[in-house]
């Protein structure tokens, strides 16, 4: 199952807090519409979609569709905020 670093968890929580009605909100990771089998889209959403896998790390909620769940099963999500305020996400292999 996907895991989150402390940095990623903090950033995901901040992103989710900006979603209206954020009681169940999180960051949804899903297969990109092109369906090329490797591109993913990250979207702040108010709640998971039916069938999404929910990863909750200290209140940071990430929702994974089936394709993302398969691709990220053995990965670690990390994140950082750049000087201009943009967020960069990265993936690493679980140890």
How would you write the pLDDT of the chain (95 residues) with one tens digit per residue?
999 999 999 999 999 999 987 788 999 999 887 655 568 999 999 999 999 999 999 999 999 999 999 999 999 999 999 999 999 999 999 98
Q: Mind giving me the DSSP string for 7-33? A: HHHHHHHHHHHTSSSTTS-EEEEEE-T
Residue ranges and CATH numbers for the domains of the chain are: 3-93 (2.60.300.12)
Alpha-carbon span 84 to 26, nearest angstrom = 23
Question: Which pTM was predicted?
Answer: 0.90
Alpha-carbon span 76 to 83, nearest angstrom = 23
Alpha-carbon span 16 to 59, nearest angstrom = 10
Nearest one of 54, 57, 94 to 76, comparing CA atoms: 94
**Sign of the C-alpha dihedral, residues 79, 69, 29, 24?**
negative
């Amino acid at each position: 199952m996907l895991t989150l670093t402390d940095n990623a968890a903090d950033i995901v929580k901040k992103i989710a807090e900006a979603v209206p009605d954020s009681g169940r909100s999180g960051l949804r990771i899903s297969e990109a519409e092109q369906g090329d089998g490797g591109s993913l889209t990250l979207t702040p959403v108010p709640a998971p979609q039916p069938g999404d896998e929910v990863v909750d790390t200290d209140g940071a909620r990430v929702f994974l569709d089936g394709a993302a769940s398969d691709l990220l099963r053995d990965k670690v999500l990390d994140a950082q905020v750049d000087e201009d305020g943009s967020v960069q996400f990265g993936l690493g292999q679980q140890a």
